[in-house]
């Protein structure tokens, strides 16, 4: 019995040694140029799969660390869409890609600062002071900008919002990085220059926005390709066994520059989901209100917003058809005659919209219910006044 157990243990040990020897031989063969035996070697046929997995892998940080949450960040960025499209049209860039860069760089905050250093990245597109002035042609007075930034922080701490607003406007005049339109136009010019440098490749131009055009050119030269290769190939095909020179350069950057493209693509996906879910949320909320609507003979109708709150579920954006609680509205703010719902009188719909907009501005509440009695009133009598 003991002899049989020792024999089985010996056979297991021999099999383990054979497996280790086979793996070592495969790795040595890969380092000697036989790349086909490397199980982790880059395969061009799987480039789309590599890109999708890398984007999904680096998306979590955007959901976890976006200022105010990913929904609030998406709302800020979406509000800048007209400026983004204008800058993209002027530079020939993809507006969705430029919008994703804004999401990642500043979370849609025009006054974002990377640090207190005057030359650090600042503004909506986080451009360095030297790059903005010497390469992109922006007006940047770093000393004046730093002084005004300190004064803005002091005024904000003291609760002087009016003075802080005035100082912010003055800072935009001396440092155009804080001007959203100028910052977006400068980012578009940078991407256009990078595309010309890298044979029109959008992925390399996007990656160079954080890595720098010169650094990316050095990595491509170290990779050994005579032409601009896709970044997914440059990223996954650079390893200690394959193209170690380019791998060392990418690893030496140390500021997550080599993963910048994947995070931009993740931000682009978030903004796409945000726009899709907003449309779905509005559609579902209309059907939700239709199910809850009273009979036709009732005089109550609701004027609800086109955008309802959206709550995240796990790492996805999921619409929720509900109304958030509103703060109380003081009496006497708008004692007006409300046109009846369904009235054909000219200007009725515009009047109702004006009343709702007025209450939203005054109460800072987006979900306003507007009601008017139409059943119990004489046919030609004006609808009764309502106090909200």
Structure tokens at 175: 């440092």
> Model confidence over 116-170: pLDDT tens digits?
776 889 999 999 999 999 999 999 999 999 999 999 999 999 999 999 999 999 9
d(C-alpha 338, C-alpha 243), whole Å: 73
CATH architecture for residues 44-110+179-265: Orthogonal Bundle (1.10)
> Which bin fits 151, alpha (ψ -120 to 50), beta or left (φ > 0)?
alpha
Of 32-46, 107-121, 125-139, 324-338, which gets the smallest average pLDDT? 324-338
> Model confidence over 156-178: pLDDT tens digits?
999 999 999 999 999 999 999 99
Q: For residues 184 and 84, is the Cβ–Cβ distance under 8 A?
A: yes
Residues of each domain in the chain carrying CATH 1.10.530: 44-110+179-265
If pLDDT is split at 50, 70 and 90, which confidence band does 267 have? very high
d(C-alpha 44, C-alpha 238), whole Å: 13
CA geometry: angle at 194 spanning 188 and 198, to 5°?
145
- Give pLDDT, residue 380: 38
Q: Is the pTM of this model over 0.85?
A: no
**Per-residue pLDDT for 377 more than 70?**
no
**Per-residue pLDDT for 5 more than 90?**
no
- Give pLDDT, residue 123: 93
Q: Work out the burial of residue 302: count CB atoms within 10 Å of its CB; fewer than 13 is exposed, 13-18 middle, 19 or more buried.
A: middle
Tally of CB atoms within 10 A around 361: 9
Asked whether the CA dihedral 261, 267, 269, 272 is positive or negative, the reply is: negative
**Per-residue pLDDT for 34 more than 70?**
no
Residues whose CB is less than 8 angstroms from the CB of residue 69 and which lie 6 or more positions away in sequence, other chains included? 312
């Amino acid at each position: 019995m003991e002899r049989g157990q020792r024999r089985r243990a010996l056979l297991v040990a021999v099999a383990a040694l054979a497996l280790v020897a086979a793996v070592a031989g495969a790795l040595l063969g890969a380092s000697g140029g036989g790349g086909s035996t490397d199980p982790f070697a880059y395969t061009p046929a799987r480039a789309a799969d590599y890109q999708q997995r890398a984007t999904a892998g680096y998306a979590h940080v955007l959901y976890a660390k976006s200022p105010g949450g990913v929904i609030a960040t998406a709302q800020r960025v979406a509000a800048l869409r007209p400026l983004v499209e204008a800058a993209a049209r002027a530079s020939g860039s993809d507006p969705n890609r430029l919008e994703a860069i804004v999401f990642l760089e500043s979370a849609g905050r025009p006054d974002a600062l990377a640090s207190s250093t005057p030359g650090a990245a600042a503004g909506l597109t986080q451009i360095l002071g030297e790059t903005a002035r010497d390469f992109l042609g922006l007006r940047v007075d770093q000393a004046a900008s730093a002084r005004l930034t300190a004064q803005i922080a002091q005024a904000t701490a003291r609760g002087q919002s009016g003075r802080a607003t005035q100082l912010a406007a003055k800072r935009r005049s001396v440092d155009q990085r804080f001007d959203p339109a100028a910052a977006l136009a400068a980012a578009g010019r940078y991407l256009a220059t990078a595309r010309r440098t890298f044979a029109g490749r959008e992925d390399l131009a996007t990656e160079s926005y954080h890595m720098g055009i010169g650094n990316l050119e050095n990595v491509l030269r170290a990779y050994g390709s005579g032409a601009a290769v896709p970044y997914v190939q440059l990223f996954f095909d650079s390893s200690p066994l394959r193209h170690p020179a380019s791998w060392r350069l990418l690893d030496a950057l140390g500021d997550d520059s080599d993963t910048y493209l994947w995070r931009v693509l993740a931000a682009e996906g978030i903004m796409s989901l945000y726009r899709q879910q907003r449309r779905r949320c509005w559609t579902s909320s209309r059907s939700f209100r239709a199910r809850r609507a009273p009979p036709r003979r009732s005089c109550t109708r609701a004027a609800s917003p086109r955008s309802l709150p959206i709550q995240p579920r796990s790492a996805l954006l999921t619409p929720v058809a509900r109304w958030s609680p509103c703060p109380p509205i003081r009496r006497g703010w708008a004692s007006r005659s409300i046109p009846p719902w369904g009235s054909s009188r000219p200007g009725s719909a515009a009047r109702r919209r004006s009343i709702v907009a007025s209450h939203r501005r005054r109460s800072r509440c987006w979900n306003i219910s507007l009601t008017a009695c139409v059943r119990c009133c004489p046919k030609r009598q004006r609808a009764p006044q309502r106090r909200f």
